[in-house]
Structure 1
Amino acid sequence: MGLMRRLAAFGTALALCLGLGGCAGQEQGESGFAPEERERLVIYTSHKAEVWRPIVREFEERTGVWVVVETGGSSELLERIDQEKEAPRADVMFGGGVEGLAAYADCFTPYTARDADKLDARFSRADGLWTPFSTLPVVLIYNNKLLSAARVTGWHDLLSPAFRGHIAFADPEISGSCFTSLVTMTAALGNDWREDIRSFAKNLDGRQLDSSGAVLDQVADGGAWLGVTLEETALKYVSGGADVGIVYPKEGTSAVPDASALVKGAPHEDNAKKFLDFTISADVQRLLGEQFYRRSVRTDVPTGESLPDLERICFVDYDVDWASENREGVLMTWAFCLGGEETA
């Protein structure tokens, strides 16, 4: 049975019974039976279950590898991997912005996955520190009942006093996508990044959300007029009937990939490499646009019909290395400014 048919069958079964795991933090692979060590794999993932479950299930069926999945926010999981460096538990970090993975580079072992030559050079890394999974443009969204399309055109709107206290944005220390959005905004506006962060933080008027998912909820139900999110999440909400509009900022946006990485000292390294290979296989990459509103990182997999062509979108020069090296500085500046303090 092909991957798409397997996933369709699995989706039906999943709707009837979510009996693949135990608690929220440790989900797949829990049962009274445990295979030999050479047949196991431990994945830490920040992906939603709807993304990782069908991919992991298919990987298990194709390889016979027993997979345990532990979930959490990308920052939380990266910190866990760092804390476990002396005795690693995880084999793979699946998901999270590449800036975060690069910031924890000493926790990972470079690996060049099979089919790496099929990857779009814009979304890959030559040294193999991480393996790209999908590309995720940052967009603005607005409530169609509260604002017209003409009122929201770009990043400058996030600094407008007219929208003070009406913007939905999550803590970038918790949400990797919001960190990417923050750096994208400063790159697009082209001013002193500290000043733009201070102006934006002030415009939130103390309204910072605790998860990126809450951004869509706030805008959709009118709790906020506009917000910042990823293209995938926005398109998913629109397809589900949410009355929100989507804007690709006129000043430019980013399409930073989320990725996977091989944990240094992984207990099941061979199986981890097999999984990294699988994530960029043509079968999985085709699934991204067809099922998840995500963009493939392969040059030989076409963009899903629901997604606008990348060539029609204006992009900024997003410096992943700068974002990684200055991650702590950006987050500290954000926290300082959001606290209402005046900078020196």
Structure 2
Amino acid sequence: MKTSKVHWLVTLVSLVVALGAGGAQAEKKLVVYTSNESTLNDLVFGAFRKETGIEVEPVAAGSGVVIRRLQAEKARPLGDIIWGVSRSLLQTNKALFEPYASKNRDATPAEYRDPDDLWIGNNLHLLVILQNTRLVPADQGPKGWADLLDPKWKGKIAFTDPANSGSAYATVTMLVDLWGGGDAGWKKVGDLFRNLKVLNRSSLVFQGVGNGEYPLGISLEYAGPMWAAGGAQVKVVYPADGTTASMEGVAIVKGGPNNESAKAFVDYINRKDVREMILKATFRRPTRSDVDLSTLPGDMPSMSAVKIIKYDEDGWTDKRAKTLEKIKDVLQESR
């Protein structure tokens, strides 16, 4: 009887230890819904795992796609973090996020974080034109957005479906305003759509230009020097008629299974040394105000050397759903 009791106690203790280890192991995991391309994902997730011991399970897709997945999983979230989506998408879906004041919050200007700490910005992307200089000599490409309306570029400009990409949505709405707003602006956007090859994901645009499938692409700044560093003949065209900077950020999914790991990731991804690593390796401008930007990699110009135009991001965010329907209609009419 005594031996039986001892055996029972040993079994019970072993079970408790096993359950405890299982719980600890669960917190050493993180599911990240990311719209970033694999170069950045691999860099960051590998460094984060090495430092923290937390295994990252990435779910990669376009920003519109990962947002729709979060919406579908609202009652029972499967992800912990959403990363690499635009301010507009973060703001319009903040009911899905849990507030968290990052340890690096104060180094990020207020304009790049939610006042209730539901999301925080990480980097800024200039909206640009990419040019494959093997297909189109450097001095024969477009100088600005208006040049893309030339019929000679029909079928030669890669672009992302705005329903799947926050930056593509920002590009279209910026151009509506730049080209006069209202019916006049939408008419010119329709003319542009007639020249575009619309793809499902942003990475397909810069991959297509880098690989020589498309002479031109409407994309994000970092993609140009990233592909050029790999040997591709890609040039970044900073539109002479002006552009804007699109913020991307990170948020913790409300009710996600690995909350403590999620907080650790938010703190990590906004840390100064991590932002410096990302800038150097992947050419993404940080939102942090204390990173030295006097010398930029990949021959990127200073922000002051680029013509930045006013963009009503809040206004276009407020009418996002209606505008996406308008974009869908204009795209269909242009086919």
Q: Which TM-score tier does this pair reach, normalised by the shorter chain?
A: 0.7 to 0.9
Identify the residue that residue 42 of structure 1 maps to in structure 2: 31
2-structure distance, mates of 1:214, 1:72: 11
2-structure distance, mates of 1:245, 1:139: 10
2-structure distance, mates of 1:39, 1:241: 38
Identify the residue that residue 60 of structure 1 maps to in structure 2: 49
Give the CA deviation at 1:217.
Answer: 4.2
Give the CA deviation at 1:176.
Answer: 3.0
2-structure distance, mates of 1:289, 1:68: 23
The one-letter code sitting in structure 1 at the alignment partner of 2:78 is R
- Which shifted more, 151-160 or 62-71? 62-71
After superposition, where does 1:127-276 map in structure 2 within 5 Å? 127-144=116-133, 145-149=135-139, 151-192=141-182, 193-204=185-196, 207-220=197-210, 223-276=213-266
Change (3 A) 1:194 1:320: same
The one-letter code sitting in structure 2 at the alignment partner of 1:127 is D
- Residues 61 and 201 of structure 2 are in contact (CA less than 8 Å); yes or no, is this contact kept in structure 1? no
Give the CA deviation at 1:194.
Answer: 2.6
Identify the residue that residue 7 of structure 2 maps to in structure 1: none
Identify the residue that residue 310 of structure 1 maps to in structure 2: 303
Please tell me whether residue 278 in structure 1 is matched to residue 268 in structure 2: yes
1-structure distance, mates of 2:166, 2:39: 19
Identify the residue that residue 289 of structure 1 maps to in structure 2: 279
Please tell me whether residue 107 in structure 1 is matched to residue 96 in structure 2: yes
- Which shifted more, 33-42 or 117-126? 33-42
- Which shifted more, 91-100 or 56-65? 56-65
2-structure distance, mates of 1:65, 1:225: 41
- Per-residue deviation, residues 36-58 of structure 1 (Å, max 9, x unmatched): 43443322212223212332233
2-structure distance, mates of 1:244, 1:160: 21
Secondary structure of residue in 2 paired with 1:128: coil
2-structure distance, mates of 1:322, 1:131: 20
Aligned residues: 308
The counterpart of 2:315, out of the listed 284, 299, 322, is 322
Q: Larger radius of gyration, structure 1 or 2?
A: 2
- Residues 37 and 203 of structure 2 are in contact (CA less than 8 Å); yes or no, is this contact kept in structure 1? no
Secondary structure of residue in 2 paired with 1:266: coil
Secondary structure of residue in 1 paired with 2:91: helix
2-structure distance, mates of 1:49, 1:220: 15
The one-letter code sitting in structure 2 at the alignment partner of 1:133 is N
Identify the residue that residue 5 of structure 1 maps to in structure 2: none
Higher helix share: 2
1-structure distance, mates of 2:301, 2:309: 17
Change (3 A) 1:305 1:167: closer
The percent of aligned pairs where both chains have the same amino acid is: 29
Change (3 A) 1:241 1:265: same
The unaligned stretches of length 5 or more in structure 1 are: 1-32
TM-score, reference length from structure 1: 0.80
2-structure distance, mates of 1:189, 1:121: 30
Please tell me whether residue 93 in structure 1 is matched to residue 85 in structure 2: no
- After superposition, the CA RMSD in angstroms is 2.5
Secondary structure of residue in 1 paired with 2:324: helix
The counterpart of 1:70, out of the listed 56, 59, 63, is 59
- Residues 142 and 148 of structure 2 are in contact (CA less than 8 Å); yes or no, is this contact kept in structure 1? no
Give the CA deviation at 1:284.
Answer: 0.7
Give the CA deviation at 1:34.
Answer: 8.2
- Per-residue deviation, residues 243-280 of structure 1 (Å, max 9, x unmatched): 23221112221211111111112233232122111111
Give the CA deviation at 1:122.
Answer: 4.5
2-structure distance, mates of 1:280, 1:218: 30
Identify the residue that residue 16 of structure 1 maps to in structure 2: none
- Residues 134 and 295 of structure 1 are in contact (CA less than 8 Å); yes or no, is this contact kept in structure 2? yes
Secondary structure of residue in 1 paired with 2:160: coil
Secondary structure of residue in 2 paired with 1:228: strand
- Per-residue deviation, residues 312-332 of structure 1 (Å, max 9, x unmatched): 111122333223222222322
Identify the residue that residue 16 of structure 2 maps to in structure 1: none
- Which shifted more, 252-261 or 192-201? 192-201
Give the CA deviation at 1:292.
Answer: 0.6
1-structure distance, mates of 2:266, 2:62: 20
